[in-house]
Amino acid sequence: MIMTMVPENMKKPYEFELFHESTRDPMDLYTWGNDFFRPLIELDNSRLEGKENLEKIAEYLAKGENVFLMSNHQTEADPQVISLLMEREGYGDEASRLINVAGHRVTTDPLAIPFSMGRNLFCIFSKKYMETPPELKGEKQKHNVRTLKKMAEMMVNKELGERRQADRGPASVAFGEEVLPPPGETLKKAEFIAIMEERVQAEYAKLDEFHESKQK
């Protein structure tokens, strides 16, 4: 499969939406990606720490809530590795519903595209490449804000809750800081989007300050 898809993506790269839902038909790229990496992992010698947290996650998802998994860095193979380890512990369904945040490198590289197509993704541009090239910085920032708005809409949209109940879509997100209110309180969609936009702009301001300090 990869020998066919890579040349195709070199000629005409697959275009990812702000939110990309795992490609399962006509080719199940989620299962294919997991099976590709499965022989490369010594599952018998690998361990999964924090299994008690997976139990809590399953309980939250069963109630129709969102779960955020925060990581300081991910390699291109991490989504498949995480899925395989969760699958081994009996959480294969939860693993298949994870949404990962994907930088442009894994959505534009012809070799990485088939693996990325098999995952649920929020597609962004990372700060590291925000000014590469400089003239596209503004457009990349706008793209990231649109992605955050899309995430906010999915989280607070009633339809997503209905999809969860029917077990037809993603329900957990590997993304950033928690911005939801304490239990028992509510957060309107506009308020959530405003918070996310404010945090994004704050990060961009820090990035600008960093580059300015380097130029002095």
**Mean pLDDT computed over 48-73:** 83
| Domain annotation for the chain: domains and CATH numbers | 2-215 (3.40.1130.10)
**What tokens does 145 get?**
């804000």
Contact 114, 79 (CB under 8 A): no
The pLDDT value recorded for residue 128 is 84
Contact in structure between 45 and 144 (CB atoms under 8 Å): no
Per-residue pLDDT for 11 more than 90? yes
pLDDT at 86: 94
- Asked if 125 and 146 count as a contact pair (C-beta separation under 8 A), the reply is no
Percent of the chain's residues with pLDDT above 70: 74
The pLDDT assigned to 199 comes to 67
More confident position, 77 or 156: 77
Q: Are the C-beta atoms of residues 104 and 129 closer than 8 Å to each other?
A: yes
Which segment of 34-43, 112-121, 179-188 scores lowest on mean pLDDT? Answer: 179-188
